[in-house]
């Protein structure tokens, strides 16, 4: 009589090594990723050679190439945006305001905005740039 | 007669669920992260002599004080000094020469409203590379 031999099971791969790798990747992306300075539209900051390191924190005003505005990732019109910034400046006079303008945005939409924010009492306004050759 | 109970084995926790969660977190962070290396250029900071002011009046005051150099940025994004369009490298050389004669040189940048942000940043770059520390961006405002 011939008995069918039960199929032999291969040795189970250890899943611990996989978890290790996934965990390292997770921590890597957590550290490298930057989730602030976001905008609901495409913003390519201008290229500069002499920029300083961008410190974290503060409010980020994004300006699109067509002049659309956003504050901390939420699209806003100019008047409500100014009201929100004025409120935040009243609570936090040293608030850093970061202007993340698209490289192709006309200055007629950027400089008056910066002047208006300065007139609200902001003493620390920075323009976001990206390092590299022009 | 006492029968010894068999030692009960601990429940084996499956690691597959944990790997699933880790994998989902990994994909989330990969998708939401941006990898732009960002720097900054200060536009306004608390200066010892008060905040910088825009407008025509500021130009008139500054022009009588210490003879600052005025660089205009045209609508096409080119820097113009005394009517002559200058490339960024030529602008840097010219300003470095001027600064060698006057270490406290002040530079005013008057951009056209039609120029883009990159043009202003490039001009600021050229001015900063020349070693000039006193830079002001000015703009014309219609008088009410």
Residues whose CB falls within 8 Å of the CB of residue B82, separated by 6 or more in sequence, listed in order: none
Is B97 a domain residue?
Answer: yes
CA atoms of A71 and A64, how far apart (whole Å): 12
* Residues A2 and B1 sit within 8 Å (Cβ to Cβ): no
Which residue has tokens 């940025």? B73
Query: Which chain B residues in 60-79 lie under 8 Å from chain A, judged by CB atoms?
Result: 73
Residue B44 sits at the chain A interface (C-beta within 8 Å): yes
Give the pLDDT band (50/70/90) at residue B2.
Answer: confident
Across the interface, of B18, B35, B44, the residue whose CB is closest to A114 is: B44
Tens-digit pLDDT profile for residues B37-73? 788 888 876 554 444 444 444 444 444 445 788 899 9
Is B8 a domain residue?
Answer: no
Ordered structural domains, chain A, with CATH? 47-131 (3.30.420)
Cα A29–Cα A31–Cα A36 angle in degrees, nearest 5: 95
Note the pLDDT of residue B62. 44
Specify the DSSP element, H or E, that contains B90.
Answer: helix B88-101
Flag if A35 and B129 touch (Cβ within 8 Å).
no
Question: What is the span of the domain harbouring residue B75?
Answer: 56-137
Tens-digit pLDDT profile for residues B7-24? 777 777 777 788 888 888
Q: What is the CATH number of the domain that holds B71?
A: 3.30.420.270
Is B46 a domain residue?
Answer: no
Residue B137 sits at the chain A interface (C-beta within 8 Å): yes
Is B35 a domain residue?
Answer: no
Residue A66 CB neighbour total at 10 angstroms: 11
Tens-digit pLDDT profile for residues B84-133? 888 888 888 888 888 888 888 888 999 888 889 999 999 988 888 888 88
Report the percent of chain B where pLDDT is more than 70. 82
Cα torsion angle, A40, A41, A44, A50, sign: negative
CA atoms of B46 and B53, how far apart (whole Å): 12
Identify the closest residue of chain B to A98 by CA–CA distance: B40
Tens-digit pLDDT profile for residues A61-115? 999 988 889 988 888 898 999 999 999 999 988 888 989 899 899 988 888 898 8
């Amino acid at each position: 009589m011939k008995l069918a031999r039960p199929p032999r099971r291969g040795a189970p791969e250890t899943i611990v090594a996989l978890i290790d790798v996934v965990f390292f990747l997770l921590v890597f992306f957590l550290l490298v990723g930057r989730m602030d300075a976001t905008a609901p539209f495409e913003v390519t900051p201008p290229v500069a050679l002499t920029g300083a390191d961008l410190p974290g924190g503060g409010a980020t005003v994004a300006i699109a190439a067509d002049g659309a505005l956003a504050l901390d990732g939420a699209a806003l019109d100019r008047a409500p945006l100014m009201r929100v910034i004025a409120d935040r400046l009243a609570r936090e006079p040293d608030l850093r305001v970061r202007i993340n303008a698209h490289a192709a945005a006309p200055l007629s939409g950027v400089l008056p905005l910066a002047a208006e924010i300065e007139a609200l009492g902001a003493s620390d306004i920075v323009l976001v740039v990206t390092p590299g050759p022009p | 007669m006492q029968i010894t109970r068999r030692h009960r084995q601990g429940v084996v926790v499956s690691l597959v669920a944990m790997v699933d969660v880790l994998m989902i977190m990994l994909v989330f962070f990969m998708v939401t992260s941006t990898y732009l290396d960002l720097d900054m250029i200060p536009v306004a900071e608390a200066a010892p002599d008060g905040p910088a002011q825009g407008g025509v009046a500021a130009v008139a005051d500054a022009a009588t004080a210490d003879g600052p150099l005025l660089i205009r940025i045209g609508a096409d994004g080119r820097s113009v000094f005394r009517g002559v369009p200058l490339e960024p490298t030529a602008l840097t050389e010219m300003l470095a020469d001027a600064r060698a004669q006057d270490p406290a040189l002040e530079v005013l940048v008057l951009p056209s409203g039609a120029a883009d942000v990159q043009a202003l940043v490039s001009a600021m770059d050229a001015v900063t590379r020349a070693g000039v520390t006193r830079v002001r961006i000015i703009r014309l405002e219609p008088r009410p």
